Structure formats: structure tokens, C-alpha cells
A and B are shown apart, each in its own frame.
Chain A
Amino acid sequence: MSITPMRSLYAALITLALAGCGSSQPGLDQTGANPDLPGKRQTLVPPIRIATPEGWDGESPTAPQGFTVTALATGLKVPRQTLVLPNGDILVAEGSGGSAPLMRPKDVIAGYIKSLGKTPVKGGNRITLLRDADGDGKAEVRTTFIDGLNAPYGLAFVNGSLYVANQDALLRFPYRDGITRIATPGQEVTKLPSRLNHHWTKALTASADGTKLYVGIGSNSNVGERGMAVEEDRAVIWEIDRATSAHRTYASGIRNPTALAINPQSQALWSVVNERDELGPQLVPDYLTSVRPGAFYGWPYSYWGNNIDPRVHPQNPKMVEKAIRPDYALGSHVAALGLSFVTGTGLGPSFTQGAFVGQHGSWNRQDLSGYKVVWVPFANGLPAGKPVDFLTGFIKDGHARGRPVGVTYDPSRGSLIVADDLSNTVWRVAPARPVQARFAPAQ
């Protein structure tokens, strides 16, 4: 059966239906510790707006005054997360994963609509090394560092070992300073849950002392619509012992933890998390939170603490009671995919303590949201203030020129690395006159 007639039918109807259900209420404050949460709005057709791609045309994203933005590398194959090695070399994980079958007509149509806002390039399934030895913001050395991976995403470096989180397994590679290629296959540390992989990205970071690895494993559905049987070991963060490779569930009910990082002040594990869709344009806020060991964050039964999601049956009041509120809302549907704390002198006087958050951008609201990198100021290891736009200009005239994913603070040069998986570029944001970088350990 051809789906083309249904596709055009749905497209026509979506246009009609959108007129009535898409608008956000103005004046809601959905960032910070206590976001405004409007009532649930389930509509026949969810509000949808896709920013279709458009080239940069020689331009770059916009950074605050005093910073320059350069394309460290272009023409990559879907760059997602980056890692700065001790010698300043930058690794870029490139790939696209997921193997969830189309179960409903909706899956066919929604998949097509969302694909309109993505790059047509096929994921590289590799890690590319970029070296900018002269610090001009352009990588003069570029090599395929590791090939033949399976949708790599999370990267971590501990004590001479490089860890790569494929969509189905965590791999370890031995690393020597200065090498530009690893040809030997990685050693499998542990398999990772990979059935369906509706949310396929496996975020990764190492504990401050390097003894533990943390892996973010997203849910296998928006809100349980593939059945709860496939949600075993999903919407969790695993803690993996580096010495024994044994794992335990560190936190659960955490819908899609897309980036993990260690807070340099408190040494606690933090995560950005993507929350559920189709409850309205302003539900549910994605969030940034410290991850408390053993905590349950509500998914799928409730959101932002104990706000019940009516779509889950049977409901589970006991789990709703246990659900804790995250620390800090980032806004609804912004799709936070990148998280990096600054260390040392940070990015200059205005950015000395806090975290950068890469926001891939929304589809489930009429007013495009996200599509930028924000700065969340911290004090004493906790968020202290509203998010501040740091890197913008990804949207121009309703079209997306790029979509930020991973963000990585480079302590050796006092710059920020931003992966853009729409224009397939890695951007570097650096002070126009480099601040005197005080070297900090690349943890």
C-alpha cells in the first residue's frame, strides 16, 4: 500500500488543524527552578513547526561581543558530541542510530515530518580527530580517528583510555598522546540496552575520580506507547564500575538523558534531559538537573514531580509519589542535547562558573524554541540565575541554518566547541583576544 496519498492528506489536514491548537500562552516563565506549568492540552494533531534547512551562506552563529566564531571543520557526517583530549585534539562522534519499527500510521507520518528538519547526510559511524595546533579556529589536521562504529555518541577519556558509547555497547580504546588514528577494534566494556532504540543516543561521562562511568539511556517511546515491556532498562542512567565493568541503575524515570557532565564545584553528576511531547506547546519543560543516586524522575507516570500524565495506563500512584522534581527547567521542547561545565578561568569574566547547554530545537510547538546554546550561571555548585543566550543565529527567517548538539568546554584554550548536526559543522567559539588560559585538568 502506498502511503503517499495519506501523506498529502495528513499534510493538508495538519495545516487546517494547526490554526486552532498551536499557540503558546505569552508570559509563561518556563526556565529556572520553578517553571510555570500550564494545563495539559492534548489535541487531535499536535502543534508542529519544522524549521526546514537553509545554508549558512558563509555566515556563522552569533556569539556575544568579544567572541569570534569559526568553523573548526565542515562537511562532517552528522556530528553529535565532542571531546577534548589532554593535548587539545578534538574528537567528534558522528552517527545516527535507532531501529524502532513503524508501528502505526502516525510513525510513518511523524517520521517524515521530522525528517524535513534534519540533514539528508547519512551518519558517519566514526570518530573524526580535529587538530588546530596554531589556534586559528580551523583544524589543519583532520583524520578518521576510529572507523566502523555503530552510531557513536557519548565520549569520555580517563587515564589513557578512550571510552566510546555506541548505540548498543560501551567500548574502550587505548590512547597514546598525539596519535591520529586507532585501527584496532575497541574492547567491549559492557553491552548497552539497544532493543528498538527509539531514543538511541547513549550519553557518557566519567566520575571526578575516574572510577565510575555514567551512561544515559533514553526511553523507548514518548510516553509508553510501545508498551511497557520494551521500557526495561530504559529512561535510566547506569553507573558502570571502570575496574569490573559491573553496572547498576543510578537513577530512573529520567526520560531521555542526552548529555551527562560532572559539576566541577560539587563533583556531582549532572544531566540535561528531554521531556515528553504532545501535552501542548508549553509542556513539558526539558531540564538540567543534578542526578541524585537512586532517584526516580517520574517518567512515564508523571512529569516535573508529581504532575500525572493521563496517557499512561495502568497509572502508578506509588511511583508518582516517589517522583522528584528536577533542579532547573530549560524550556519546553528546546531539546537540550549538550552539556558542559566550564573549569579554570572559563570563557572570560562573564562565564567563570556555570554550564553551557546545547539546544537542538523544537518541533512540537508553533513558536520555534531552542536552536541555540545557552549559558546557565552557577554559584557554589548550583544554578544561580536565568539562562543567557550564548550562541544564536541558528534560525534565520524561519529556516534552520544549523542545530546545536554537543557542547564541550576546551580548558586548554578557553574556548567552546559546538557540534552542529544540520550543517554538519563543528564550531569553535573563542574570546577574540584569548584570555590567559590557566590550564585545568581535562576530566
Chain B
Amino acid sequence: MPNMPMGFRPFLHPLHGLLLAFPVALFTLALVTDITYLQTAEIQWTNFSSWLIVGALLGGGLVLIWSIILAVVSRRRAHRRPSLIYAGLIAIMWIAGLVNAFQHSQDAWSSVGVTGLILSIISAALALTASWVAHRTVREMAR
């Protein structure tokens, strides 16, 4: 479909956008519960983080697959660059989140500690950035 006007094609399919909301919200919340755990040493906060990260990985895993497909199929299109950036951000976010899931499987203080906090910051920041890139791209396309 090389001659199709691209201005009205949204970058993200509505379902893709919906799935993307999971890592955005859950990784961000996991960062909040991690910080709370480090402040209080109250074990339930790190338990929350563990489940939030798993939820983010499940939603984010589907987003990751979809983002890679987008990057591959959009090879000859004008939004090749944002789709590559988007897929890259999602991929790093997901890998950091996965490592963090294992970090959070360690016991007590080691479930977060410095490493867990850094990984939570990375995955939350990348989820937010990737979402920003995706939605900004939609707006520019729709202009």
C-alpha cells in the first residue's frame, strides 16, 4: 500500500494502545511500591512490586511482540524511525523488567535494594518514554 495517505493512520492500533497502558501504569506503580518498601521495610510493599512487575511483563510482552512487528513491516514507510525507536525502548523496558522480576524474587531486603530500585526506575522511565513516543507519533500523523 505504498500510495496510501499516511496522515490518517494512527501509529498504534487501539488494542495495542490498551496493552501499552499496562507496563506504563504497572512499572510506574512498582517503582512507587519499591520506594515505599525501602522507606518502611514493610514486606507487603515488595510483594506488591513483584506482582506489579509480573503484570507489566505480561501486558508488555504482547506490546513487545507487536512493536517488533510494527518495526519490521514499516520498513519502507515514513514512520520507520519512530517505530524503531519505539520497539527499542519497549525491548529494553521489557528486559529490564524481566531482570527486575528475578531480582524481586530474592528474599526480604535483597528483593529491592539498590539493584531493584535502579531496574524499577529504568523500566518505568522507558515505559513512559515509549508511550510518549508512540502517542506523539499518532498526533503528528494525524496533523
Which A residues form the contact surface with B (CB < 8 A)? 1, 5-6, 13, 17, 42, 44-45, 103-106, 109, 221-227, 278, 310-314
Q: Which residues of B contact A310 (CB under 8 A)?
A: 109-110
How long is the Cα–Cα vector from A6 to B101 in the complex, in angstroms? Answer: 11
Q: Which residues of A contact B110 (CB under 8 A)?
A: 42, 310-311
Starting from the known contacts A109-B105, A227-B44, 16 additional A-B residue pairs (CB-CB under 8 Å) come to: A1-B58, A42-B110, A44-B99, A103-B47, A104-B51, A104-B105, A105-B105, A223-B107, A224-B107, A226-B43, A227-B42, A227-B43, A278-B107, A311-B106, A313-B108, A314-B41
Task: With A227-B42, A227-B43, A314-B41 as known contacts, state yes or no: A105 contacts B108, CB within 8 Å.
Answer: no
How long is the Cα–Cα vector from A223 to B102 in the complex, in angstroms? Answer: 17
Q: Is B50 part of the binding interface, using a Cβ–Cβ cutoff of 8 Å? A: yes
Q: Which residues of B contact A104 (CB under 8 A)?
A: 47, 50-51, 104-105
Task: With A225-B43, A226-B43 as known contacts, state yes or no: A105 contacts B109, CB within 8 Å.
Answer: no
Residue of A1, A221, A226, A313 most packed against chain B (CB within 10 A):
A313
* B106 and A278 contact, CB distance less than 8 A: yes
Q: Which residues of A contact B105 (CB under 8 A)?
A: 44-45, 104-106, 109
Residue of B43, B51, B54, B107 most packed against chain A (CB within 10 A):
B107
How long is the Cα–Cα vector from A109 to B50 in the complex, in angstroms? Answer: 13
Chief secondary structure at chain B's binding surface: helix
Q: Which residues of A contact B47 (CB under 8 A)?
A: 103-104
* A312 and B102 contact, CB distance less than 8 A: no
The 21 listed contacts between A and B (C-beta, < 8 Å) are A5-B58, A13-B98, A17-B102, A44-B103, A103-B47, A104-B50, A104-B104, A105-B54, A105-B105, A106-B104, A223-B107, A224-B43, A224-B108, A225-B43, A226-B43, A310-B110, A311-B106, A311-B107, A311-B109, A312-B109, A313-B109
A-B contact count (CB 8 A): 61
The chain A residue with its CB closest to the CB of B48 is A104
Q: B108: which of A1, A5, A312 is its contact (CB, 8 Å)? A: A312
How long is the Cα–Cα vector from A223 to B98 in the complex, in angstroms? Answer: 24
Q: How large is the interface on B (under 10, 10 to 19, 20 to 34, 35 or more residues)?
A: 20 to 34
How long is the Cα–Cα vector from A109 to B43 in the complex, in angstroms? Answer: 19
The chain A residue with its CB closest to the CB of B107 is A225
* A105 and B50 contact, CB distance less than 8 A: yes
B125 to chain A, nearest CB (A): 21
Q: Which residues of B contact A109 (CB under 8 A)?
A: 105
A395 to chain B, nearest CB (A): 27
How long is the Cα–Cα vector from A191 to B48 in the complex, in angstroms? Answer: 33
How long is the Cα–Cα vector from A335 to B107 in the complex, in angstroms? Answer: 19
Q: Is B131 part of the binding interface, using a Cβ–Cβ cutoff of 8 Å? A: no
The chain A residue with its CB closest to the CB of B111 is A225
A381 to chain B, nearest CB (A): 37
The chain B residue with its CB closest to the CB of A5 is B58
How long is the Cα–Cα vector from A17 to B102 in the complex, in angstroms? Answer: 10
A299 to chain B, nearest CB (A): 12
B11-43 interface with A by 8 A CB criterion: 41-43
Q: Which residues of B contact A313 (CB under 8 A)?
A: 41, 108-109
The 7 closest A-B pairs by CB, nearest first: A44-B102, A106-B105, A225-B107, A227-B43, A313-B109, A311-B108, A225-B108
The chain A residue with its CB closest to the CB of B101 is A105
Per-residue A-contact encoding for B39-74, CB less than 8 Å = 1, 0 else: 001111001001100100010000000000000000
A47 to chain B, nearest CB (A): 13
The chain A residue with its CB closest to the CB of B43 is A227
* B41 and A223 contact, CB distance less than 8 A: no
B64 to chain A, nearest CB (A): 13
B45 to chain A, nearest CB (A): 11
How long is the Cα–Cα vector from A45 to B104 in the complex, in angstroms? Answer: 10
B80-114 interface with A by 8 A CB criterion: 98-99, 101-111
The chain B residue with its CB closest to the CB of A6 is B54
How long is the Cα–Cα vector from A13 to B111 in the complex, in angstroms? Answer: 18
Task: With A45-B102, A313-B41 as known contacts, state yes or no: A105 contacts B107, CB within 8 Å.
Answer: no
